[in-house]
Homo-oligomer: A and B are copies of this chain.
């Protein structure tokens, strides 16, 4: 989170010189950043789901890489939601609750981080009886957070 604060501070610093566009740009960048990390997450999730559902051959090394990528993304999530990166900055699926209920949002993100960390551990076993349930658990943390904090249409 500190990272984002610095970015915003830098943008605001810059805005003294060049007007308010710098801050706006920073918020637009943050929105693009979180959308990109969600996209990377989703792509890997889709492939893991296909392996769990046996629609694609299971490959241990690939699954481990995907689980690890999703966990890395989970650790970036909070950096993508600086204050001000709401629908006033640019179209976004993020609900205002992200910023009005920060503790609840943080709790949901931490649940995702923990579940995806456990998925990395499960993936290393190569045992689908451990991987499957932990994959579902992780997917559940995505859904829980999206239900509360992501609107279906861009506002």
B40:A40 contact, CB within 8 angstroms: yes
Among B6, B40, B55, B66, the residue within 8 A (CB) of A10 is B55
User: Which residues from B are CB-within-8-Å of A2?
Assistant: 59, 61-62
Interface: A97 (CB within 8 A):
no
Q: How far is the CA of A7 from the CA of B50 in the complex (A)?
A: 9
Give the number of copies in the complex.
2
B47:A43 contact, CB within 8 angstroms: no
A side interface size, CB within 8 A: 30
0 or 1 for each of A1-30: is its CB under 8 Å from B? (1 = yes) = 011001101100000000000000000010
Other than the given A2-B59, A6-B59, 20 more pairs (CB < 8 A) read: A2-B61, A2-B62, A3-B59, A3-B62, A6-B47, A6-B56, A7-B47, A9-B56, A10-B50, A32-B39, A32-B43, A33-B39, A33-B43, A36-B37, A36-B39, A36-B40, A37-B40, A40-B40, A65-B75, A69-B72
The winner among A3, A7, A29, A61 for most chain B CB atoms within 10 A is: A3
Closest to A1 in B: B62
Interface: A57 (CB within 8 A):
yes
Interface: A76 (CB within 8 A):
yes
Q: How near does chain B come to A33, taking the closest CB pair, in angstroms?
A: 4
Q: How far is the CA of A65 from the CA of B76 in the complex (A)?
A: 9
